[in-house]
Amino acid sequence: MVKNCYVHIPFCKQICSYCDFCKVFYDTGYVSSYLNSLEQEIKKNYKGEVLDTLYIGGGTPSSLSLAELERLFSILSVFKRSSSCEVTIEANFDSITKEKLNLFQLFGVNRISFGLETTHQWILDKMGRQLDLDDVVNTISYCKEIGLSNINVDLMYAFPGETVEEVVEDVSFIQSLDIPHISTYSLILEEHTKLYLDKVPSILEEEDAKMYEVICSELSNFCHYEISNFAKDGYFSSHNLCYWRNREYYGFGLGASGYLDDVRYSNTRSMTHYLQGNVRYEEEKLGLRDKMEYEVILNLRTKWGISKSQFFSCYHKSLNEVYDYSSLVKDGYLKEDEDFLFIPEEYWYLSNEVIVRLLEEEVV
Ligand code: SF4
């Protein structure tokens, strides 16, 4: 039974030079039509399951006006939620207000994820982002005051020209906010972004690796529970864990992806098509081997790794009957205990290579 749901709000007040997400410039006329189409999509597809997680991402959901947010929440109130349902919303510091935060709470938002990315003005200028550090401190303090203390902040690193020292300064600023969750992302120069088209050179791989290492060591007071995510006890993101545990989830909205009834799907990224009701872009029907691959690839991103007993109960085969991982264990890239097979933290930086090697060891 599906217990998780993602809803995409694609509007942004600025378009960042590195961004490859599905987003469009905020335009109030479009917002209204978009919300109507979103409502139709949800009504048509939601089967009434009780949700354990609801994640409202973007884009920038906080770029919507108060009235638009009220309309959004009235659409989303169709979802049945369990008593402990984690309800997350993404926000940017330059578009959040106390009134919006109060409204979030009224709807039942109990987790908020802020895009901060960097504290350095020269990088913000090159990203095309606005940020006032006093606003950051005041907003986080107001969130805590009203009891919205389950807070994540996103940090981006490896911006071209950035130094390790600057990354350390960012981490130390975020630590000073005393929040329970931090997500980190190494900048990848994706095609069609402004930075890519401007032919800005990527940072060297060794620099990137050094930054990752420094971030991990600076955040040693957090639990490093997924390659890019750090949390205090009890503050793991339940919604993101549903992805990494290969669970099913609804994905609603422009460019959203979902996983239902053995089908992984993604919605169109064309606003025109979406508003016309041509929502679905592509679907991938998964066979048994595909599902096993996803199970391995996703679970190995976490510190727990993959549960051998759960693998067996899902697929009626032992993990080592499907993948011969003995040489990876011998080389130390994988470790196993009674139930779990996992990548030790010192090799997380190489996780893609380890996973590829594991999949190549598929027993035919
Ligand atoms: S990075 Fe965030 S705020 Fe910037 S354009 Fe992309 S979705 Fe919008």
pTM: 0.96
Across 336-349, average pLDDT: 96
Is the CB of 286 inside a 6 Å radius of any atom of ligand 1?
no
Interval 6-33 mean pLDDT: 94
d(CA 115, ligand 1 centre) in Å: 8
State pLDDT tens for residues 187-225. Answer: 988 888 898 888 888 888 999 999 999 999 999 999 999
User: Taking a C-beta distance cutoff of 8 angstroms, is the pair 122, 163 a contact?
Assistant: no
Q: Mean pLDDT, to the nearest integer, of 20-29?
A: 92
pLDDT above 70 (res 364): no
H, E, C per residue of 161-230: CCCHHHHHHHHHHHHHCCCCEEEEEECCCCCCCHHHHCCCCCCCHHHHHHHHHHHHHHCCCCEEEECCEE
Check residue 196 and give its pLDDT: 86
Task: Please tell me the predicted confidence (pLDDT) of residue 57.
Answer: 98
Enclosing H/E stretch for 6: strand 4-9
CA 11/CA 29 separation, integer angstroms? 12
Write the pLDDT tens digit of every residue in 256-315: 999 999 999 999 999 999 999 999 999 999 999 999 999 999 999 999 999 999 999 999
What's the pLDDT score for residue 186?
A: 95
Top CATH class of 4-244 equals alpha beta
Q: Is 57 in the pocket of ligand 1 (CB under 6 A)?
A: no
The boundaries of every CATH 3.20.20.70 domain in the chain are 4-244
**What would the pLDDT profile of 77-135 be if each residue is shown by its tens digit?**
999 999 999 999 999 999 999 999 999 999 999 999 999 999 999 999 999 999 999 99
Any ligand 1 atom below 6 A from CB of 38: no
